[in-house]
Structure 1
Amino acid sequence: MTSEEQANGQLSADRLQAAVSAIREDGYVVLADVIAPEHLDMVRERMVADSQTLIAAQKWGGAGRIEGHLQQGPPPFSPFIFRDIVANPFAIQVTTAVLGSGTYNRFYNGNANCPGSGTQPLHADAPHLWPDMAVPHPAHALVVNVTLVDATVENGATEIWPGTHCLPFNAQHITPEMEAARREKVPPVRALARKGSLVIRDMRMWHRGVPNHTDEVRHMIAMVHQIRWVQRSTLLLFNIGCEDAFPTMDGFDHNVVFTDQ
């Protein structure tokens, strides 16, 4: 990220095109240094405390409900809501370039990879909308992941499989034979990202959680930016007092409602 891009709050035309091309071809892109570290520290402090309650209750979640993996959302209230997390202008610039005007956020949640976690089954978060097409359709939903610390091999950075969003079958049911064939052709990589980065990926991309070999929980926030013509199921709830983090943005709908409940 250049100083000019940081000051303008948007990528240059060339870098935007590179990000869009990476998502279309590889299925993902990493945007570095786009979130203030101090904001991540505040959110992480609260999420670490919440994790202890979930771990004690063994509320394992995510694909396969494998021990050590939590489905854990960040707190939806002040002082833990920051624009550069919930409405990051660089992320929105990229996702609207891929999905078009009217893109909206339909998800605000997250997960936690705990020390000693297991390996999840290989999966995709969404199928093709029309799985019988010979050539898969363009993206209809993009996951925006925010890591609260450096995502490394040691702490279980997500295993991702480049290009699998373009494979012409329903990738929510991945057999060992499919995995072996793909590994021989294009092996997986890790979604390595330093603190302050965003990882944007096509929801159809194969991926899985892998073991965290450190002694600290690694949290990751997840948002899903959806193409406008897919029906909305619900509004996202945030507490009153968070409104300033969701400014009006051309071509993007935060899909939020503010409540005192």
Structure 2
Amino acid sequence: MSNSNETKSVERHAELGWHGTDRNAPEVVQQREYLGANNGLRDVEILDPSEIERAVKIFRRDGFVLVGDALSPDQTEFLRNGVVEVVDEIVAHDSERGGNRGSHRYSFGGSSVTRSMLHRPEWQMLVDLPTVTPIVTAIFESSDYLLRSASGDFCLPGAIEYQPLHSDIRDFAPDGNTPFSAFHDPRGFLTLRDLPCPYVCVNFLPFDQTALNGPTRQIPGSQHSRAPIPTLDEEPEWMRLSTACPAPAGAIQIRDVRAWHGGTPNLSDELRAIPNLEFYAPWFREPMIPGITYADHKKLSEHAQHLTRLSVMDSSEQLPAGYVVKPLPNRT
């Protein structure tokens, strides 16, 4: 993307954001200055894609790892342009910027009528990258893993609130409201956090992730913790500042979905978007919803076809398209 186009994109998303909030309000300016000076993990390490063993070691220790140059400049631009197009389509359905993951916050897959973004060529491109596939294969110690979803999230400028820390998966609870991603040991010995990683999330960065544009906060080592996840009122300040930044466009963040994480304020004038892919471990499965047509599936690499084998529609079926924005129900 040229500098001229980047400037136009920034201006457009600054206009899309900051709905109902003055970006120059004293409390916003104060928080912007504070985050600019303090936000971000200290000495965060960004690996080269060739450092596969080290990536696996850090992933298993911290519950996440950052890898730079996973996307080429051309791939980054292609992904960025597609993301901007999708963002504009989604936000057009939400004039009040209420979001579906909190104010000014949105899930890509959660906005798609298919619950997936795999119909988009930008997400299809990500399924089998030579810089990413070897690392995911090493994490699972097998190439026979499976695509769970193609989604991600974005936050507009003016997302001034913190998203509560959460995990994307949990143990079974006898309340009738347990998601598919659950585990139950009737003996009471093991929890989901005692097992190998059931699935990973790979976030792709089409934009730089900075201290001010809503970087994901990630709590190192929390993937194995049995402690209750702190609420926003309970969360210590160091956790609020434990964000994966700075990280450059073209990088990826691979995370264990059990690890505690959450969104942070976007006090910039820039869109922050992290499209993702999630991959099941070879031993873990859930019900699947098709997200790619038979014709598009046949265009993928052989390995990508294998990874998406439960996401493809029958050749006689048509894939619905479109977006809708519905607020996320309160979690219980």
Q: Name the TM-score, length of structure 2 as normaliser.
A: 0.63
* Greater than 4 Å deviation, 4+ residue runs: none
Q: Distance in 2 between matches of 1:96 and 1:59?
A: 38
Structure 1 contact 66–119 (Cα < 8 Å) conserved: no
Larger Rg: 2
1:190-233 deviations in Å (ceiling 9; x for gaps): 12221111110100111111111222212111111111222231
Alignment of 1:135-150 (within 5 A): 136-150=194-208
- Whole-Å Cα distance in 1 between the matches of residues 133 and 257 of structure 2? 16
Aligned to 2:129: 88
Map residues 161-240 of structure 1 onto 2, 5 A cutoff: 161-169=219-227, 173-175=229-231, 179-180=235-236, 189-192=242-245, 193-239=247-293, 240=295
Of 121-130 and 197-206, more deviation after overlay is shown by 121-130
- SS of the residue corresponding to residue 190 of structure 1 reads coil
Which residue in the other structure is 2:145 paired with?
103
> Is 1:160–1:188's contact at 8 Å kept on the other side of the alignment?
no
Q: Output the CA distance in 1 between the equivalents of 2:118 and 2:197.
A: 28
The structural deviation recorded for 1:80 is 3.2
Q: Which residue of 1 aligns with 2:58?
A: 22
Equivalent position SS for 1:89: coil
Structure 1 residues 224 and 75, CA gap change in structure 2 (3 angstroms): closer
Q: Specify the SS of the correspondent of 2:200.
A: strand
1:151–1:157 CA contact under 8 A, matched in 2 = yes
Matches of 1:81 and 1:203 in 2, distance apart?
Answer: 19
Look up the equivalent residue of 1:60 and give its one-letter code.
Answer: G
Letter in 2 for 1:155: N
Distance 1:82 1:49 in 2: 16
Say yes or no: does 1:246 pair with 2:301.
Answer: yes
Give 1:81 shift.
5.0
Task: Give the partner amino acid of 1:191.
Answer: A
Q: 2:216 aligns with which of 158, 176, 189?
A: 158
How far off its partner does 1:98 sit? 2.0
Instruction: Measure how far apart 1:60 and its partner are.
Output: 1.2
Structure 1 unmatched ranges of 5 or more: 1-5
User: Counterpart of 1:3?
Assistant: none
Distance 1:20 1:154, change over 3 A: same
**Identity of matched residues, %:** 24
Residue 108 of structure 2 corresponds to residue 69 of structure 1? no
Supply the RMSD in Å over aligned alpha carbons: 3.0
- Indicate the larger mover: 48-57 or 20-29: 48-57
Paired with 1:205 and 1:153, the residues of 2 have a C-alpha distance of 21
Q: Distance in 2 between matches of 1:55 and 1:242?
A: 28
Alignment-mate amino acid for residue 247 of structure 1: E
SS at 1:150 equivalent: coil
Which sections of structure 2, spanning at least 5 residues, go unmatched? 1-47, 110-115, 172-182, 320-332
Task: Tell me, yes or no, if the aligned pair for 1:106 and 1:236 is still in contact at 8 Å.
Answer: no
Whole-angstrom CA distance in 2 between matches of 1:79 and 1:249 = 13
Q: Name the CA distance, whole Å, in 1 between partners of 2:103 and 2:261.
A: 17
- From the superposition, tell whether residues 22 and 257 of structure 1 become closer, same or farther in structure 2 (CA, over 3 Å): same
Q: Secondary structure at the match of 2:312?
A: strand
Structure 1 range deviating more: 17-26 or 223-232: 223-232
Tell me, in whole angstroms, the C-alpha distance in 2 between the residues paired with 1:166 and 1:75: 30
TM-score when normalising by structure 1: 0.78
Is 1:104–1:226's contact at 8 Å kept on the other side of the alignment? yes
Tell me the distance in 2 between the aligned counterparts of 1:51 and 1:190: 23
> Which secondary structure does the structure 2 equivalent of 1:220 belong to?
strand
Q: What letter is aligned with 2:156?
A: C
Paired residue total? 240
The amino acid across from 1:194 in the alignment is P
